[in-house]
Structure 1
Amino acid sequence: MKTVRIGLIGVGLIGKMHLDEYANIPGAEVVAVCDINEAEVKLVAAKYNISHVYTDFRQLLERDDLDCIDVCLHNNFHAPVTIAALEAGKHVYCEKPIAGSYYDGKAMVDAAIQSGKMLHVQIATLYHKETKLAKELIEAGKLGKLYHARSNGFRRRGRPYVDGYGTPSFTRKETAGGGALFDMGVYHISQILYLLGIPSIRTITGQTYQEMGMDPERREISGFNVEELGLGFVKFDGGASLDIMEAWSVHLGGFEGSCVIGSEGGIRLPAYKSGQPQTPMTFHSTVSDMDLDSTIDVHSNNNRRELMSADYDAYRSSQHHLIAAIQERVPMLPTAEISLQTMLISEGIYMSSQLGREVTAEEVIAESKSTAIKL
């Protein structure tokens, strides 16, 4: 198999997580790393045995021996760096969300089309075992006509920095663009859009909140000006709908798992808390006029599929998929398109909350502005 040579930009928490993942993927080789923090990038290069170190991403992009650039920067830096990398003739793997606004995400997608290079966005939930099994059930017609879905994401008190982890950059519109919807919601909304087949968005209604108390000193330092709770309702062309509840912080003990409902059956995905599934995946249907509620053994079913498929490893994680797609073993999932539609929904929720009314997809697209920060 072709060895995929990677240049990684941004060696913070997420960048280090990407490096750990690449270390476990045959055929992936990180050749160069870049960060404006020279001391930190040198330490990281030494730890991961990476030969080439840069503090200016433009110099890294001048290399002619890289297949792909991995962008691990804060949201509002995604577009400028990604577009520059695509124009330099490199495939791009970008952290979620696609950008800080729909406008910037669309510019990234357009740049990928114009360059003829792949743009892959990190959506970890697409590679969860339950997502793959749910997609099989849907494609086999076991749910019939899909007409409603629910996207849920829960943290009890898990706001970055103000609740004890992460940095203030996650809590400021200037760098992050948004809060819970951009940080966590992108995973859950994208997962549901993928299962629904990426339907066209018609209208969006939403409301955002920041009502729970926080440490006064950390509030001041963080400049916290994003939402801790985002709620939404989306109508799609064709009549299907989606409701959304995404919480960084809320006075509840948990949410039920996301779900997809069809005319012939329904799927309930596991509910997660602190990164661990709290409930099983279930399938609900009617057979011989009997209502059946079935529990799916996610691990056994997934393991059997891995043993029986030569390319199932290409769907173990977002990065496994990246490498396999560049090696031309599998076609790239439409993660850029899914991410752009997710951004449209999130930005629509913000717009609806501000205006106090339902908004159309066309309104959101027309009003979206660039939030990009050039380096």
Structure 2
Amino acid sequence: MRQIRLGVVGVGIIGKAHLEEYAGIPGASVVAVCDINGQEARAVAEKYGIPHVYADFRDMLARDDIDAVDVCLHNNFHAPLTIAALRAGKHVYCEKPIAGSYFDGQAMVEASRECGRMLHIQLGTLYKKETKAAKALIADGQLGTLFHARSNGFRRRGRPFVDGFGTAHFTRKASAGGGALLDMGVYHIAQMLYLLGTTGVVRMTGRMYQEMDMDRQRREESGFDVEELATGFVTLENGVTLDIFEAWAVHLGGVEGSSIVGSKGGIRLPSYHSGEQTGEFSFHTTVADLDLNSTVDLNRMDIRWHRMRENEDACDSSQRHWIAALQGRVPLLPTAELALAVQLIGEGLYISHTQGREVTADEVKETSRSLAVNI
């Protein structure tokens, strides 16, 4: 198993989570970290036994013994650093969303192709047990022809910073590009596109909301100018449709899990409240003129597949998949293309909200502009 040497840029909350994950992956070796906060970078390096610390990412990219770079910065910093790393000959793993705008995300994808290096976006929902079970049922034809999906995400009062966790960078368009839609919705929309097997976006309409009370002082400190609730409706290629409900904050006790329906059957994924599972995976179909609502033992499925399938460990998490792909054990899932399609949808929903009308994917592509912050 080939050793993969990694450099991580950004050692905040997300960066630390990535380092913790790498620590448990055979074959993953983090040899350098970079952060403008030198004291924090040195403390993290000492904790994880990382030999090299940098304040300037360019110095880290100059190393010829690093295979891949992990980008753990805020959204509008993704494109410049990712493109620089790709041009330096490194493969790149980047946090979601792919960027702050479709324009920047497209530039990242194009740079990956031009440089012949892999670009992987962190879309953790693709590796959940329920996603694997849903993909297996769809691949086996159990749903028939797919025609509609519903992407749901829910927090009761879980807005970053203003509700007591995270930083204000999440709540400002200047650094994040958007709110609940780009923070949480990326995971759920990408999961639906992956299961539907398409990134072909045709048109979309959306509405953004920021209506609930906030602590006055935290509102002022945060500069909160993004949405806490996003809703939308998307038409994909071949007439397949997708509706979206993504809440950082909403006065409900919960929402149902995301779902997909086809001509022969349907799937409902577990529901979650602020990351905690509150519902179960279920499969719905008709057999012998009987309507069946079935549950699946996902844990038993997972045990069996790890026993029976080669390289099943490569599907256990986004980072495990990344390392396995770099080792040549598995092909890389098309996470960059999925994330770019999600960015296209998100930007389209924002434009639709502003203009009060449905917009086409072509309009978004033509009008999207860079939000990248030079670093």
Do they fold alike, i.e. is TM over 0.5?
A: yes
Counterpart position of 2:213: 213
TM-score, reference length from structure 2: 0.99
Any stretches of 5+ residues in structure 1 without a counterpart? none
* Distance across 2 between alignment mates of 1:243 and 1:172: 25
Counterpart position of 1:343: 343
Counterpart position of 1:111: 111
The Cα shift of 1:303 comes to: 1.6
The Cα shift of 1:301 comes to: 1.1
% identical aligned pairs: 63
Counterpart position of 2:167: 167
Answering whether residue 87 of structure 2 is matched by residue 87 of structure 1, we say yes
Q: Which amino acid aligns with 1:363?
A: E
The Cα shift of 1:199 comes to: 3.9
Answering whether residue 48 of structure 2 is matched by residue 48 of structure 1, we say yes
* Distance across 2 between alignment mates of 1:198 and 1:70: 26
* Distance across 2 between alignment mates of 1:309 and 1:13: 34
**Residue 9 of structure 1 contacts residue 73 of structure 1 at CA under 8 Å; is this kept in 2?**
yes
**Residue 199 of structure 2 contacts residue 341 of structure 2 at CA under 8 Å; is this kept in 1?**
no
**Residue 133 of structure 1 contacts residue 302 of structure 1 at CA under 8 Å; is this kept in 2?**
no
Counterpart position of 1:67: 67
The Cα shift of 1:110 comes to: 0.1
Counterpart position of 2:32: 32
Counterpart position of 1:286: 286
For residue 252 of structure 1, give the secondary structure of its aligned residue in structure 2: coil
The Cα shift of 1:263 comes to: 0.1
For residue 291 of structure 1, give the secondary structure of its aligned residue in structure 2: strand
Partner deviation per Cα, 1:36-75 (whole Å, 9 max, x = no partner): 0011101111111100000000000000001100000000
Answering whether residue 16 of structure 2 is matched by residue 16 of structure 1, we say yes
The Cα shift of 1:125 comes to: 0.1
* Distance across 2 between alignment mates of 1:293 and 1:163: 38
Partner deviation per Cα, 1:255-313 (whole Å, 9 max, x = no partner): 10000000000000000113221111000001111110001111111221111112000
TM-score, reference length from structure 1: 0.99
* Distance across 2 between alignment mates of 1:199 and 1:218: 38
Residues 233-244 of structure 1 mapped to structure 2, 5 A cutoff: 233-244=233-244
Any stretches of 5+ residues in structure 2 without a counterpart? none
The Cα shift of 1:216 comes to: 0.5
* Distance across 2 between alignment mates of 1:6 and 1:168: 29
**Residue 199 of structure 2 contacts residue 337 of structure 2 at CA under 8 Å; is this kept in 1?**
no
* Distance across 1 between alignment mates of 2:241 and 2:209: 22
* Distance across 2 between alignment mates of 1:354 and 1:272: 30
Q: Which amino acid aligns with 1:108?
A: M
Q: Which amino acid aligns with 2:141?
A: G
Answering whether residue 194 of structure 2 is matched by residue 194 of structure 1, we say yes
**Residue 8 of structure 2 contacts residue 15 of structure 2 at CA under 8 Å; is this kept in 1?**
yes
**Residue 230 of structure 2 contacts residue 245 of structure 2 at CA under 8 Å; is this kept in 1?**
yes
Q: Provide the alpha-carbon RMSD of the alignment.
A: 0.6
For residue 292 of structure 1, give the secondary structure of its aligned residue in structure 2: strand
Q: Number of aligned pairs?
A: 375
For residue 238 of structure 2, give the secondary structure of its aligned residue in structure 1: coil
For residue 345 of structure 1, give the secondary structure of its aligned residue in structure 2: helix
* Distance across 2 between alignment mates of 1:298 and 1:368: 41
Answering whether residue 4 of structure 2 is matched by residue 4 of structure 1, we say yes
Q: Which amino acid aligns with 2:345?
A: I
* Distance across 1 between alignment mates of 2:153 and 2:45: 35
For residue 238 of structure 1, give the secondary structure of its aligned residue in structure 2: helix
Q: Which amino acid aligns with 1:30?
A: V
Counterpart position of 1:298: 298
* Distance across 1 between alignment mates of 2:316 and 2:170: 27
Answering whether residue 154 of structure 2 is matched by residue 154 of structure 1, we say yes
**Residue 157 of structure 1 contacts residue 163 of structure 1 at CA under 8 Å; is this kept in 2?**
yes
Q: Which amino acid aligns with 2:353?
A: S
For residue 242 of structure 1, give the secondary structure of its aligned residue in structure 2: strand
**Residue 96 of structure 1 contacts residue 123 of structure 1 at CA under 8 Å; is this kept in 2?**
yes
Counterpart position of 2:131: 131
Partner deviation per Cα, 1:78-101 (whole Å, 9 max, x = no partner): 000000000000000000000000
